[in-house]
């Protein structure tokens, strides 16, 4: 099956628009059996199997967030959340890779100058990967920049056609600082042949994402393939793109966490029907298990509700051009809380699974490992709590960088 992205031309980023699109959530649900069947194969290959990548491309699912004027679906936050959540429920590595590719395509479409955005999204099978952390350097050159650097965690990098990098602007050998004291960071995107893939993705969880390291050798990149990380403005697409890279990332991380946690609980509920220790009743009849299971259901439902409330609050503020530090910090707080809650739920499920979860090949074990790896991400570390706490307590402004 091939799904055609809408040809509707999106209005400027000051107007709201309605975009007709196929039922992409139903499309994703129809893929769940295929994705589930290849989950072990993804881990064995240390990247998504070609069958999975092709199925996502056939339905244009990497374009769920990209601007409609460039062939994307420009979905609202909740709709995108539900699609990524469903993919993650089928397989965490697939959900994680989808969210990374979809967010990076959306950012290219919304923030790059015209020539760059059109080039990146011209191929209907384009997908972007990489890292915007300022680990590289950018020196001004005529019409662009000379960049170089080494980066990591390029989720989906093995099947990516474009790679991001974050580069500290250099003048006379010194890093240029913005008025607020932050470094001036240039985000650039290069075609895959321009980067050197370094591999070394050897991890405990999210194995199938192929989140490889890569190097950008010194080379020229035109201005049309760059934008400033901290001062970028939306050039095209829906006003919700004012959520920025961090806001879009909140959608992906929350959806991944609740999707994988949901799968863990589903696996546990099925296992509990017949699981028993020697001399004991079936697990499903154990009062301690019953109470723990109910608590886990409540935890993930509450985290999901908080996530969607905070994300849609940020989305509404972006549309109104009224994003505040408090709204942004709440979305980040919800994201970190959801990652943590999902891991606690999966941890409880893993413990009750006994030797079933212990054995490699268990879907429940994979959920636990994937959520453990996802919760380690810098985007959901303890600093998010500290920054939100500063605002809530009135101690001072948050120090989130994006």
In sequence order, what are the residues at sequence separation of 6 or more whose Cβ sits closer than 8 angstroms to the Cβ of residue 21?
5, 6, 73, 75
Weakest mean pLDDT among 7-11, 35-39, 41-45, 59-63: 7-11
Per-residue pLDDT at 310: 98
- Residue 374 CA to residue 276 CA, distance in Å, equals 31
Per-residue pLDDT at 400: 57
Question: What angle do the packed helices 363-375 and 325-353 form, to 10 degrees?
Answer: 150
Tens of pLDDT, residue by residue over 82-104, are: 999 999 999 999 999 999 999 99
Per-residue pLDDT at 8: 44
* Residue 218 CB burial class (10 angstroms; 0-12, 13-18, ≥19): exposed
> What is the 8-class DSSP label of residue 237?
S
Domains of the chain: 24-121 (1.10.540.10), 128-228 (2.40.110.10), 239-393 (1.20.140.10)
- Percentage of the chain with pLDDT > 90? 88
| Residue scoring higher pLDDT (188 or 12) | 188
- Residue 215 CA to residue 147 CA, distance in Å, equals 11
Q: Which among 269, 260, 297 is positioned nearest to 371, based on CA atoms?
A: 260
Quickly state the pLDDT bin for 2 (edges 50, 70, 90).
low
**What average pLDDT does this structure show over 5-21?**
49
Q: Quick check: 76 pLDDT over 60?
A: yes
Residues in a beta bridge with 169? 138
Quickly state the pLDDT bin for 9 (edges 50, 70, 90).
very low
- Residue 158 CA to residue 136 CA, distance in Å, equals 21
Tens of pLDDT, residue by residue over 320-333, are: 999 999 999 999 99
- Residue 272 CA to residue 270 CA, distance in Å, equals 6
Q: Quick check: 275 pLDDT over 90?
A: no
| Cβ count within 10 A of residue 199 | 12
Quickly state the pLDDT bin for 399 (edges 50, 70, 90).
low
Tens of pLDDT, residue by residue over 224-235, are: 999 999 999 999
**What average pLDDT does this structure show over 128-150?**
97
**What average pLDDT does this structure show over 108-112?**
98
Query: What is the pTM for the complete model shown?
Result: 0.94
Weakest mean pLDDT among 9-18, 45-54, 281-290, 373-382: 9-18
Q: Quick check: 302 pLDDT over 50?
A: yes
**What average pLDDT does this structure show over 360-378?**
96
Which run of H or E residues covers position 88? helix 77-90
**What average pLDDT does this structure show over 232-240?**
97
Q: Which among 122, 164, 172, 124 is positioned nearest to 147, based on CA atoms?
A: 164
Q: Quick check: 13 pLDDT over 90?
A: no
Tens of pLDDT, residue by residue over 334-344, are: 999 999 999 99
Q: Quick check: 5 pLDDT over 90?
A: no
**What average pLDDT does this structure show over 191-202?**
96
Quickly state the pLDDT bin for 20 (edges 50, 70, 90).
low
Q: Quick check: 18 pLDDT over 90?
A: no
* Residue 114 CB burial class (10 angstroms; 0-12, 13-18, ≥19): exposed
Per-residue pLDDT at 256: 98
Residues in a beta bridge with 130? 164
Tens of pLDDT, residue by residue over 177-186, are: 999 889 999 9
Residue with tokens 């570390």: 381
Task: Please give the angle made by the CA atoms of 319, 249 and 44, to the nearest 5 degrees.
Answer: 150
Quick check: 98 and 160 in contact, CB under 8 A?
A: no
Residue with tokens 């908080």: 306
Q: Quick check: 398 pLDDT over 90?
A: no
DSSP-derived secondary structure for 211-263: -EEEEEEEEEEEGGGEEETTT----SS-GGGGGHHHHHHHHHHHHHHHHHHHH
| Cβ count within 10 A of residue 145 | 21
**What average pLDDT does this structure show over 116-141?**
98
In sequence order, what are the residues at sequence separation of 6 or more whose Cβ sits closer than 8 angstroms to the Cβ of residue 104?
127, 128, 129, 130, 162, 164
Residues in a beta bridge with 171? 174
- Residue 255 CA to residue 276 CA, distance in Å, equals 33
Task: Please give the angle made by the CA atoms of 189, 324 and 232, to the nearest 5 degrees.
Answer: 20
Q: Quick check: 4 pLDDT over 90?
A: no
Backbone angles phi, psi at 58, to 5 degrees: -55, -30
Q: Quick check: 6 pLDDT over 70?
A: no
Rg value, the chain, Cα: 21
- Residue 67 CA to residue 108 CA, distance in Å, equals 9
Quickly state the pLDDT bin for 14 (edges 50, 70, 90).
very low
């Amino acid at each position: 099956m091939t799904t055609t992205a809408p040809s509707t031309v999106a209005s400027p980023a000051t107007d709201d628009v309605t975009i007709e699109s196929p039922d992409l959530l139903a499309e994703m649900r129809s893929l769940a059996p295929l994705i589930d069947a290849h989950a072990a194969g993804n881990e064995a290959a240390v990247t998504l199997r070609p069958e999975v990548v092709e199925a996502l491309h056939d339905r244009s699912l990497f374009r769920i967030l990209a601007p409609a004027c460039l062939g994307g679906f420009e979905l609202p936050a909740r709709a995108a959340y539900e699609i990524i959540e469903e993919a993650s429920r089928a397989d965490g590595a697939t959900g994680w890779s989808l969210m990374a590719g979809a967010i990076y395509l959306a950012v290219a479409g919304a923030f790059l100058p015209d020539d760059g955005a059109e080039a990146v999204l011209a191929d209907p099978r384009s997908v972007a990967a990489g890292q915007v952390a300022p680990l590289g350097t950018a020196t001004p050159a005529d019409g662009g920049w000379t960049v170089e650097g080494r980066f990591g965690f390029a989720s989906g990098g093995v099947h990516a056609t474009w790679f991001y990098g974050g580069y500290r602007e250099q003048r006379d050998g010194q890093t240029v600082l913005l008025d607020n004291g932050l470094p001036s960071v240039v985000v650039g995107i290069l075609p895959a042949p321009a980067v050197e893939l370094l591999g070394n993705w050897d991890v405990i969880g999210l194995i199938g994402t192929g989140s490889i390291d890569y190097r950008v050798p010194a080379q020229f990149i035109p201005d049309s393939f760059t934008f400033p990380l901290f001062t970028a403005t939306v050039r095209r697409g829906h006003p919700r793109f004012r959520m920025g890279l961090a806001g879009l990332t909140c959608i992906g991380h929350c959806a991944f966490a609740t999707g994988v946690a949901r799968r863990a609980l589903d696996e546990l509920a099925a296992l509990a029907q017949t699981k028993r220790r020697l001399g004991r009743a079936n697990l499903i009849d154990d009062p301690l298990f019953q109470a723990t299971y109910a608590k886990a259901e409540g935890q993930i439902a509450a985290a999901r509700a908080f996530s969607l409330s905070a994300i849609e609050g940020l989305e509404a503020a972006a549309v109104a051009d009224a994003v505040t530090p408090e709204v942004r910090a709440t979305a980040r707080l919800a994201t970190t809380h959801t990652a943590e809650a999902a891991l606690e739920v999966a941890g409880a499920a893993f413990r009750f699974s006994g030797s079933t979860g212990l054995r490699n090949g268990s879907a429940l074990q994979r959920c636990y490992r994937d959520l453990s790896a996802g919760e380690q991400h810098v985007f959901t570390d303890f600093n998010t709590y500290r920054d939100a706490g500063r605002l809530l307590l009135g101690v001072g402004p948050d120090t989130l960088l994006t």
